[in-house]
Amino acid sequence: MTGFALGVDQEEWCGQLRALAAERLRPLAEKGEPGRVNRPLLAALGELGLLERVFASGALELCLLRESLAYGCTEAETALALQGLGAYPVLRAGSERQRERWLPGVRAGRTVAAFALSEPGAGSDAAALALAATADPAADGDGDGDGDGDGRGWRLSGEKCWISNAPEADFYTVFARTGEGPGAKGVSAFLVPADRPGLSGAALDMLSPHPIGSLTFDGVPVGPGDLLGEPGRGFRVAMDTLNLFRPSVGAFAVGMARAALDATLAYTADRTAFGGTLSDLQAVAHRVAEMATRTEAARLLVYAAAGAYDRGAGDVPRRAAMAKLLATETAQYVVDHAVQLHGAVALQRGHLLEHLYREVRAPRIYEGASEVQRTIIAKELYAGAAGAAGAAGMAGVTAR
Ligand SMILES: Cc1cc2nc3c(=O)[nH]c(=O)nc-3n(C[C@H](O)[C@H](O)[C@H](O)COP(=O)(O)OP(=O)(O)OC[C@H]3O[C@@H](n4cnc5c(N)ncnc54)[C@H](O)[C@@H]3O)c2cc1C
């Protein structure tokens, strides 16, 4: 990407991805059971090398992937993103052994990953999580609890909820309280295989067909070999993962907005009313212009945030939060107006816009609700302003 435009190769790649999503992935998504993990769809994402790109590429490429897949098939987009969310902590903080054991299957779309942070009592305030990791030398994490490890195990007890891909995932990145300190300081990350004794789950039924469920941990044994990173450093692992994925949630939203916008352009140019087409009515044409302008602004903000992440810029948290906030709120606006400009046909079960109307709602809540993004932005702005004022004060002292 140069300045504010994608390169020719990137534009071409996005076009190929949109075509793949519509022609190859959409039919697989339609054969899946709503609200369940679609393994044939995941295997196709693996075969096409797209899951590999989630891990091998930077944030901008991840955004282009998510935006383009979302344009043609939201289910494929979501399946890809959830593999990334669940497995990125393993890539970033896992041991060589954990990476070798789990990541090839994730990349191939054979092994289903999940990211388990939220709890019934800890959503936006994730640092308040209560899932307890209680030290137990007999819990060595090899699953049989016979204590033949090195005597430094824990047992996990408590609940997780709203966990995408649960309870069907093959492993979970689980954030639990080992108690090195209060709040975020006392959280550790573990890789918990789904077949560990004491782990069970139940599916949850959502507005949009999303594979999601709750998990119950009843003394699940984990050992040092299951840790992702250092004990007490798990919250950092979760936040690093969310910093990468936040702009790409915005990209998902932009893909949906672009699909809704293109459908509206086509429909309003064709639908006849009052002796012309809907697009002849200025109120309609101006609304479409507004939808397009807002979508374009969101798209550019997402690319800018992703670019900042890839450059290792210092203002990633603020940019990522702005991109997610603007893109998800914009997509809601665009999809809602697209429904309005289509009239009744958009509300018929199975219509693209009926589908997008349900899909577009959740991204304003997950990975930090819009209000939480505003809090992050404001905090970063005031910290920056205080830093600048401090530096100006110092300069004044030096000058005197
Ligand atoms: C489809 C879907 C998939 C999900 N997948 C996962 C997953 O894979 N893994 C995982 O760990 N979690 C997942 N979640 C959970 C998600 O991260 C939480 O829903 C989210 O963090 C919000 O938490 P909550 O729902 O408990 O809402 P609460 O924290 O109870 O907040 C409710 C509302 O209060 C307001 N609010 C909250 N905090 C503030 C604030 N600081 N200032 C102002 N207003 C505020 C907001 O309007 C917010 O929507 C998923 C959720 C959904 C809907």
* 165 CA closest ligand 1 atom index: 8
100, 367, 371, 380: the catalytic one is: 367
Gyration radius (Cα) of the chain, Å? 23
Instruction: In whole angstroms, give the CA distance from residue 84 to residue 71.
Output: 19
Determine the distance separating the centroid of ligand 1 and the alpha carbon of 125, expressed in angstroms.
8
pLDDT at 150: 60
Q: How many CA atoms, within 13 angstroms, populate the side-chain half-sphere of residue 152?
A: 7
Determine the distance separating the centroid of ligand 1 and the alpha carbon of 287, expressed in angstroms.
31
Beta-sheet pairing, 113-116 with 132-135: unpaired
**Which has the closest alpha carbon to 256: 170, 331, 348?**
331
Question: Do the beta carbons of residue 229 and residue 93 sit within 8 Å?
Answer: yes
Determine the distance separating the centroid of ligand 1 and the alpha carbon of 363, expressed in angstroms.
10
pLDDT at 57: 79
pLDDT at 352: 98
Question: To which H or E segment does residue 384 belong?
Answer: helix 370-399
pLDDT at 146: 45
Reduced 3-state DSSP string for 221-268: EECHHHECCCCCCHHHHHHHHHHHHHHHHHHHHHHHHHHHHHHHHHHH
pLDDT at 397: 52
pLDDT at 151: 63
Pocket test for ligand 1, best of 162, 358, 372, 374 (most atoms within 8 A of CB): 162
pLDDT in tens, the chain (400 residues): 556 789 999 999 999 999 999 999 999 999 999 999 999 999 999 999 999 999 887 999 999 999 999 999 999 999 999 999 999 999 999 999 999 999 999 999 999 999 999 999 999 999 999 999 999 988 865 544 444 556 689 999 999 999 999 999 999 999 999 988 889 999 999 999 999 999 999 999 999 989 999 999 999 999 999 999 999 999 999 999 998 899 999 999 999 999 999 999 999 999 999 999 999 999 999 999 999 999 999 999 999 999 999 999 989 999 999 999 999 999 999 999 999 999 999 999 999 999 999 999 999 999 999 999 999 999 999 998 888 887 777 665 544 4
pLDDT at 149: 55
Ligand 1: residues within 6 Å at CB? Answer: 115-118, 123-124, 162-164, 206, 210, 212, 362, 365-367, 369, 371-372, 375
pLDDT at 2: 59
